[in-house]
Amino acid sequence: MKKFLIALVIAVLVVAAYGIYQWNKPHRDVENEDTKLVLTSDSLQAFYGQSPDSAKKMFLDQAVVVTGEVQSIEGDSTTTVLLPGAACSMESDQLKINKGDRVKIKGICTGYDDLFQEVRIDRGVLIK
């Protein structure tokens, strides 16, 4: 009986710990996520333009690294870096980059925006 009670208490604790872990589990750490999806921003746009369905399967919600030349930097609520064919919402507002720089941005691909015909990257960070 005693053994049974001990086992029960342990089981309850394990379930509770798992619940608490789930409830408080950290957000995705995009910056340190491994990814093999490294490509130029305009080729990512071309993927989406040519075969939206397979592009969705391959890129949506994945960490990607896009490279390209900065077309413009805009935005007020969040800084958005425009690369050819991709708009990247950045985590930081203090970016030491200028129009014309070639940059590498890592972030989550959140899909294709038909309004501007470009791919959206969220939670972007500059990488070397």
Partner 1 sequence: MKQLLVIAFTVLSTVAYSQKYFTRSGEISFYSSTPVEDIEAHSNSASSIFDVETGAGEFSVPMKSFQFEKALMQEHFNENYVESDEYPKGTFKGKFTNIENIDFSTKGEYPVNVEGKLTIHGVTKEIKTSGYFIIDDGIKGEAQFTVSPSDFDIEIPDVVRDKIAKVIKIKVSMNYKEFKR
Q: Find the binder of partner 1 among 65, 75, 97, 104 (CB under 8 A).
A: 75
The set of residues, in sequence order, having a beta carbon less than 8 Å from that of 47 and lying 6+ positions away, is 54, 55, 58, 59
Residue 101 interacts with partner 1 (CB under 8 A)? no
Q: Which is nearer to partner 1, 42 or 48 (CB)?
A: 48
Residue 40 interacts with partner 1 (CB under 8 A)? no
Pairing relationship of beta strands 38-40 and 118-127 according to DSSP bridges: unpaired
Residue 61 interacts with partner 1 (CB under 8 A)? yes
Compute the distance between CA of residue 70 and CA of residue 101 in angstroms, rounded to an integer: 6
Residue 22 interacts with partner 1 (CB under 8 A)? yes
Residue 26 interacts with partner 1 (CB under 8 A)? yes
Residue pair 66/111 in contact (Cβ under 8 Å)? The answer is no
Cβ at position 28, least distance to partner 1 in Å: 7
Report the candidate in 69, 70, 65, 71 with the shortest Cα–Cα distance to residue 44. Answer: 65
Which residues contact partner 1 by CB under 8 A? 22-28, 56, 60-61, 74-80, 82, 87, 89, 108, 110-116, 120, 122
